[in-house]
A and B are shown apart, each in its own frame.
Chain A
Amino acid sequence: MFIIFPKQKSTELSVRKALRYCTLTSLLFVSSVHAEIIWVGVKDPNIKDALFESYQGRHFDAITRLSMAQKLGRVVDQEQAGLVLGGLYLAYGFHDHAAKIFETFLGDEQPKEVRDQAWYFLAKTRYQRGNYAGAMQALNKVQDTLDFGLTQERNLLEATILLKQGKHLDALKVLKKINERSDWGMYAKFNKGVAVYHLGREQEGVKLLDEIGTLRSRDPELKALKDKANLVLGYGFLDKDKPDTAKAYLERMQLTGPFSNKALLALGRAYSDKKLYKKSLAPWLQLVERHPSDPAVQDAMMAVPYAFGQLEAYKQSLEYYEKAMLSFQAEIENINIAADAVGGGKMLEGMIRVAQFEDEGGDERKLRRVLNTPEGRYLMPLLASFEFREALHNYAALRLSLGKLEGWSARLDTYQDLTDQQRKEYEQRIARVQSKVLLLVEKYRHYLQSMAYDELERRKERLVNYFNEARFSVAQIYDYASKRWGTGNE
């Protein structure tokens, strides 16, 4: 749960960092998150052409052009073309297809460096898609030619997979290989802390995480890592009924960092566990002012009136419960709107744009802009799921191929050198493929929609439960008040 292998923004950074060390003589690419292709020493114009398309974010066109060139026998260097095609498939998200090509073309005759990097990036893509066993398989094919930076990253990836698989001792052995001063040192240290903690060496784990938790850095990524270490320690000690210790760690965290909502919630709990309800209100009252779609904010909306109730400030408790109910109601409405948007296909269109942004190297901010609607925020967590992303990418690719097929079909008339018979055959073939793709599109659409509905339903259920809980508490306060202060003018 607390294992760290940088992804999303960090992955972009990691790819850039990784590419800094790139010393390949032939070609290379890749991040599956966004294609950043670096290629040198390519002479074949067909391959160059495909890579150019890919560089523009048009992976599909790149693949079709190169495949066509291969079939027409125009490609001189078949092996190089194969490898590039594998890379393109990987960039396009079809890692299984890429793997098959690599198996065929990444023979002993290829330079070890090329093989190692190809397998390594395949491993990383598989990891990002949640395929740990496949990722480990690919990783095992990587030999010893990766440069220092990539070797560090590779080790971190291997350790992360091992941790995900619950093999803490093996993970620890790999983590020890990572140089603490490398770019990945802090991440490794964090994971080491988690691993030893799981191995029962709690003190050692706490010490390692504490070292990260006291880091001094202006790098936002390291500041976030520092916060995460403190958050892990804070929650860990809260769960062990040591709120004082938890508080000390949580107080180190940034008020506006990426984990600040969870931190504020936890700090309030640390006070509340000690029955210091007024103190618990300081972080919680800050948190309730934040965006109500965040579960931590929703938790705080229930925690604040609870604390007021404990302080016998029943009127204030009532006000905050009623405020929370209004907020939950509005959020439930947003979820209903989101469900409508999912049903009407609008939400999926927006998400395809997200997938396209990613393929084009879009960053988190762009992604957020696409989903920056009250209802869209509820689908953000879906994008963190490898399963959903994989399906979304495939769906987007299929949608794109439909467009291409349509374009080809339209262009058939313009090809003067085709005979009527040939034109008819091509039309029939395109129509057959279109039908197949349409079926697949429908299948993916249905699959994505049901995943989105499940997520929305889960979030809605949580809000409905909170709403009802608040309603019950309001009733109880009034009930108590009627006994204490009488029934008034009823």
Chain B
Amino acid sequence: MNSRVVIITLALSLLFLHGCATKKGTLASLDDSGIVIEKNAPIDSARQKAADNYASFINSAPKDSLRVEALRRLADLELEKSEERFQQQLSKLDSEKKTISVAKEAEIKQSSYETAIKLYEDAAKASLGEVNDPQIYYQLSKAYEQAGQPEKALDALNRLLARFPNIDNRDEVHFRRGELLFSLNKFKDADRAYTQAMVVNPSSAFYEKALSKKGWSAYKLGEYDRSLHSFFTIVDRKLRTSGGEVDIEGEHLSRGDKELLNDVFRVITLSFNELGGADAINNYFDNNGERVYVSRVYRNLGDHYLEQRRIRDAASTFKAFVKRYPDDIYAPDFDMYRIKAFSRGGFPSLLIEAKIEFVDRYQVNGDYWNKQNEMTQAKLSPVLEQNMEEVARHFHAVAQKSKKPEDYVQATSWYKMFIKSFGIVGVYRAGENIGW
């Protein structure tokens, strides 16, 4: 180390010491380096302690402005415990192999939530002065609902709206009112509540839910046209992609939306069923305009009938689609649904008639065939081939049985049509099937 460096070092040390000296004994000498911060160190068994401290606070600060908040938080914690208490009691009874009657369950529910409800009511009362805490009423309503007292739950929400008529989340409050009214079978009132929820804000997260439940309310009231109007509005909103196009299968949708849409389509089906079936669908679209997803509506109704083993209704629904939209890309599918329905239902004569109609309508170089592109034709071809084969086989069998020449003529004409449509290879293939 040379002397110059030593001098500089000494000078710096002196400067440092001078700095220390001026700081010494003053607030400038304070230093935070020794303070240890234990960030996010966990705290155990906190809920009961939170409740105890809120309770002590409430007792010792009867006039404090935070009292209402403390009451509400205490009630929130109590509500959590109420649910656990309720479940524990049910499990206990269950483990003791005791049968739990509806009345007994209601009794357990009521006693489980009693304390939480009282605390919320106290908070609501204490808040009447200057404290604006709508959450109290919202939670109070929830507690009443969980305690199995929907009327009181509804009353709590009505009190909330009376006190805070312009509350920001009134869409949600109206929706919950609607739900409670719906559960009480007060469908007219529920309908109105859902409408109010929608009126607040068309972009609200509750808008579509309310719209759907509004449709259900109308459905329950037997006002199917009105219910359909709600449901189709939802479908229209949901199936429209962000690009403005319509995605008929709704593949762009979230799982939740898909479920919602399935529910909506289900109730649309039920509504059309109530309105008389396929004719009602026709009427609806005549009056309210066509939809690109119309095939799904006919299909659902047809399937619904199939589930109920109402084969003829199902078949006429499928047929109604084809009749209304004969050139539609899905028309052959619907005819096939009809064929399958007859097949499943065990209606051989109707089945063969349907197949004949199919072959007739979709034959190669026929009107329908010529209107389709190659891709559709390629898709249609094997189905047509199968149906034509089955029709030919049918008439061949009839001729073999009757031995009548005219029957053979008819069978031959079908085979000729077959050869004309699919060539000799197709005939051989068909021949293999019929045991040539």
A: residues with CB less than 8 A from B are: 250-256, 260, 263-264, 267, 278-279, 281-283, 285-286, 308, 311-316, 318, 464-465, 467-469, 471-472, 474-482, 484-485, 487-490
B37, B44, B46: the one within 8 Å of A278 (CB): B37
Residues on A with C-beta less than 8 A from B73 are: 475-476, 479
Give bound CA distance, A110 to B42, whole Å: 83
Q: Assess A471 versus B41: contact at CB under 8 Å? Given A263-B27, A281-B32, A479-B73.
A: no
Contact B27 A485 (CB under 8 A): no
Residues on B with C-beta less than 8 A from A312 are: 39-40
Contact B43 A314 (CB under 8 A): yes
Give chain B interface residues in 303-331, CB to chain A under 8 Å.
none
Residues on A with C-beta less than 8 A from B27 are: 250-255, 260, 263-264, 267, 283
B35, B39, B43: the one within 8 Å of A281 (CB): B35
Give bound CA distance, A286 to B40, whole Å: 24
Distance in angstroms from A316 CB to nearest chain B CB is 6
Give chain B interface residues in 276-315, CB to chain A under 8 Å.
none
Give bound CA distance, A253 to B53, whole Å: 40
Give bound CA distance, A252 to B24, whole Å: 10
Contact B37 A316 (CB under 8 A): yes
B31, B38, B57, B70: the one within 8 Å of A282 (CB): B31
Residues on A with C-beta less than 8 A from B28 are: 251-252
Give bound CA distance, A9 to B115, whole Å: 61
Distance in angstroms from B72 CB to nearest chain A CB is 11
Distance in angstroms from A475 CB to nearest chain B CB is 4
A308, A311, A316, A485: the one within 8 Å of B42 (CB): A485
A252, A264, A285, A478: the one within 8 Å of B53 (CB): A478
Give bound CA distance, A403 to B54, whole Å: 56
Residues on B with C-beta less than 8 A from A254 are: 25-27
B386: CB under 8 A from chain A? no
B66: CB under 8 A from chain A? yes
- Closest B residue, CB atoms, query A271: B32
Residues on A with C-beta less than 8 A from B57 are: 468, 471-472, 475
Q: Assess A477 versus B43: contact at CB under 8 Å? Given A250-B27, A472-B66.
A: yes
Residues on B with C-beta less than 8 A from A315 are: 38, 41-43
The A/B interface has a contact count, at CB < 8 Å, of 131
Distance in angstroms from A330 CB to nearest chain B CB is 16
Give chain B interface residues in 10-69, CB to chain A under 8 Å.
25-32, 35, 37-50, 53-54, 56-57, 60-61, 64, 66
Contact A314 B40 (CB under 8 A): yes
B77: CB under 8 A from chain A? yes
Distance in angstroms from B26 CB to nearest chain A CB is 6
Residues on B with C-beta less than 8 A from A488 are: 44-47
Q: Assess A314 versus B41: contact at CB under 8 Å? Given A278-B35, A478-B50, A490-B48.
A: yes
- Closest B residue, CB atoms, query A276: B32
B: residues with CB less than 8 A from A are: 25-32, 35, 37-50, 53-54, 56-57, 60-61, 64, 66, 70, 73, 77
Q: Could you name 30 residue pairs across A and B whose Cβ atoms are closer than 8 Å?
A: A250-B27, A251-B27, A252-B28, A253-B26, A254-B25, A254-B27, A255-B26, A256-B25, A267-B30, A278-B37, A279-B32, A281-B35, A308-B37, A311-B39, A312-B39, A315-B38, A469-B66, A471-B61, A472-B54, A472-B61, A475-B57, A475-B73, A476-B73, A478-B46, A481-B42, A481-B50, A482-B46, A484-B42, A485-B44, A487-B47
- Closest A residue, CB atoms, query B69: A472
Give bound CA distance, A490 to B84, whole Å: 11
Residues on B with C-beta less than 8 A from A263 are: 27
Give bound CA distance, A253 to B25, whole Å: 8
Residues on A with C-beta less than 8 A from B29 are: 255
Give bound CA distance, A255 to B45, whole Å: 41
3 nearest A-B residue pairs (beta carbon): A478-B50, A475-B53, A481-B46
Give bound CA distance, A255 to B375, whole Å: 91
Q: Assess A475 versus B26: contact at CB under 8 Å? Given A312-B39, A316-B37, A489-B45.
A: no
Contact B60 A468 (CB under 8 A): yes
Give bound CA distance, A92 to B37, whole Å: 58
Give bound CA distance, A424 to B39, whole Å: 85
Contact B70 A475 (CB under 8 A): yes
Residues on A with C-beta less than 8 A from B66 are: 468-469, 472
Contact A478 B38 (CB under 8 A): no
Residues on B with C-beta less than 8 A from A251 are: 26-28
Contact A487 B46 (CB under 8 A): yes
Contact A252 B26 (CB under 8 A): yes
Residues on A with C-beta less than 8 A from B56 are: 471
Contact A471 B60 (CB under 8 A): yes
Distance in angstroms from B18 CB to nearest chain A CB is 14
